[in-house]
């Protein structure tokens, strides 16, 4: 088998692995392998093929790492609607009480009574509120 074909077959295998893993980093490595295959197609020696594959793969991985797709967002699980499906749901609070300067209430939600705390900056008035966070068994809400 010719050198360029080996490079492209390897790139194809890495792309298939990327489809199963869901990471873009394998895709960047596949781009490096394609670069090695391109050098092989142009008649470059094995050393130049390896150098091109490594350099392009390294640069592509570095660029991905610096892009918005490579940044790992450290969101709190207590505020993430993908983790807690109650985030973003609406509840009704009829009256508020003040405990240690914090507005709290007890409301029925999903068949049980929950402690509710008003998010700082919201006004404690009767009405509908949106769940913004869950801390233990306490719902942190804000006005709609």
Q: Show the domains of the chain with their CATH numbers.
A: 3-66 (no CATH), 77-143 (2.40.50.140)
Instruction: Give the up-direction half-sphere exposure of residue 78: CA atoms within 13 A in the CB hemisphere.
Output: 9
Nearest to 80 by CA among 129, 131, 137: 131
Q: Beta partners for 143?
A: 129
**Residue found by looking up tokens 């490579």 in the block:** 70
Note the pLDDT of residue 139: 92
Torsion 9-15-18-20 (CA) sign: negative
For residues 128-142, average pLDDT: 90
Task: For residues 64-84, give the mean pLDDT.
Answer: 76
Average pLDDT, the chain: 89
pLDDT in tens, 23-58: 889 999 999 999 999 999 999 999 999 999 999 999
């Amino acid at each position: 088998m010719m050198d360029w074909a080996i490079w492209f077959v390897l790139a194809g295998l890495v792309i298939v692995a990327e489809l199963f893993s869901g990471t873009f980093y394998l895709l960047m490595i596949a781009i490096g392998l394609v670069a090695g295959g391109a050098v092989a197609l142009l008649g470059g020696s094995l050393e130049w093929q390896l150098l091109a594959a490594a350099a392009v793969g390294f640069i592509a991985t570095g660029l991905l790492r610096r892009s918005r797709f490579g940044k790992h967002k450290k969101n709190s699980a207590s505020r993430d609607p993908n983790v807690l499906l109650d985030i973003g749901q609406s509840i009704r609070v009829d009256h508020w009480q003040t405990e240690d300067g914090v507005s709290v209430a007890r409301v029925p939600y999903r068949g049980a009574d929950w402690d509710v705390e008003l998010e700082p900056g919201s006004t404690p008035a009767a009405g509908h509120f949106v769940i913004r966070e869950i801390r233990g068994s306490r719902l942190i809400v804000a006005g709609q």
